[in-house]
Chain A
C-alpha cells in the first residue's frame, strides 16, 4: 500500500514541489561525481589502469568541444586553430584571449 501511494505521489499530475525535483537532480549528480572516485580512490593502480586513466581528460574535453570546434562554422574552426597556434608559443591566458577575440572578429567578418 505504502509503495503504491509513494508511486502515485511521484507519478500523479498533482505537481511536485520544485525543491524536491532539485534535490533529486542533486542526488543523481552527486552519485556520478562520487562513484568514479570511490571506485578507484583507495586502490593501488596498475600501470595499465593509470595509463588508461591518463587518456580520460583529453577524451572527455574533446568530446565536449568537438561540435563547437568542428561542426559549428568556419569562424569557430579557424578560431580554434588560432588558439592552438597561440598556445604553442604564449601563456595560456594569451591563447584564450586571442582565441575569443578572433572568434568575435571572424563572426563579424564572415
Chain B
C-alpha cells in the first residue's frame, strides 16, 4: 500500500497545477483589460505629486481600481489636507460597498477552502476574480484553492506592474477607448451575466438592476449607481422568491 502514496501525491500535485493554470487562463483577458487602467492610474499618481513606489503601495494595500481612480482624481497635492483625506477614505468606502454583497455570495463556495488561500483571496477580491470564482463553483462545480490562487495572484501582480509602468511611461495611453480596452471589461461581464442567466433563467433581477443603475446614475453622485442597481436586483430576487414546491 505504501507504494501508492507517492503516486497519489503526485496526482494531487498535478491537479493543483491544472487548477492554478485554468485560473490563470480564466483571468487572462481581465488582466489584459486592466493593464491600460493600471497605466492611467500610474500616470495620474505622478501628476498628483506622488512617488512611483507610493502608487505601487496603494495598489498593493487597497487593490481596488475604481476607488483608486476616484481617490487620485481627488488627490490635489502630495500632502493632503485632513478634510480631503477623510473625503477620499469615505468615498473609497462607498465605491466598495458592493464587496459586502459579493463576499456574502462567495461565502458558501469558499468557506471550505484552506484559510491560507481564503483570507488572502478575500483581501484582494475584485469584481473580476469574484465573478470567475462564482462561475467556476456553479458551472464547473470544481472550486479549489489552486484555482483561486491562479485567479487572484496573477491579477494582483498584473495591477501592480502596470501601475508602476504608468509612472514611467505616463502619457502613452491617454484613452483606452481607442483600442477597445475599455470594452474588454464589459464584454467579459456580459458573457458572465449571460452564463448566470442560462444557469437559472432569472431575468427579472437583471432587468431591474440595469434600470435602477441607469436611473441612479442620473440622480446619485459617483459610483453609487452600482450599489443601487445591485441592491435593487437582489430585492427583486427576494420579492419574487417562491418556495420550491414539494410534490
Contact = CB atoms under 8 A, between A and B. Distances in A.
B219 interface: no
Identify which of A10, A45, A92, A95 gathers the most chain B CB atoms within 10 Å of its CB. Answer: A92
A10 B234 contact: no
Contacts of B212: 63
Contacts of A50: 108
A22 B107 contact: no
Interface of B is mostly: helix
A57 B196 contact: yes
A59 B99 contact: no
B1 interface: no
Contact of B205 (A36, A58, A80): A58
Given A63-B228, A76-B183, A56 B99 contact: no
B187 A100 contact: yes
Interface residues of B, number: 92
B81 to A, nearest CB: 5
B122 A25 contact: no
Interface residues of A, number: 75
A110 interface: no
Nearest to A37: B103
Identify which of A32, A39, A51, A54 gathers the most chain B CB atoms within 10 Å of its CB. Answer: A32
Interface of B: 29, 50, 54, 57-58, 61-64, 67-68, 71, 77-83, 85-86, 88-89, 92-93, 96-108, 110-111, 122-123, 125, 127, 130-131, 134, 177, 179-180, 182-197, 200, 202, 205-206, 209-210, 212-214, 217, 225-234, 236-238, 241, 243-244
Q: Rank and list the top 5 A-B pairs by shortest CB-CB distance, nearest first.
A: A59-B233, A63-B229, A15-B79, A36-B103, A55-B237
Given A58-B197, A62-B209, 16 more contacts: A10-B82, A13-B81, A16-B82, A17-B79, A20-B85, A21-B88, A29-B63, A32-B96, A52-B237, A56-B104, A57-B134, A59-B101, A59-B229, A60-B233, A63-B226, A96-B187
29 contacts: A11-B82, A25-B71, A29-B92, A32-B96, A32-B99, A37-B103, A37-B104, A39-B107, A40-B108, A51-B241, A52-B238, A56-B105, A56-B233, A57-B134, A57-B192, A58-B202, A58-B209, A60-B101, A62-B210, A63-B98, A63-B210, A64-B189, A66-B213, A66-B225, A76-B186, A84-B190, A92-B191, A99-B187, A104-B179
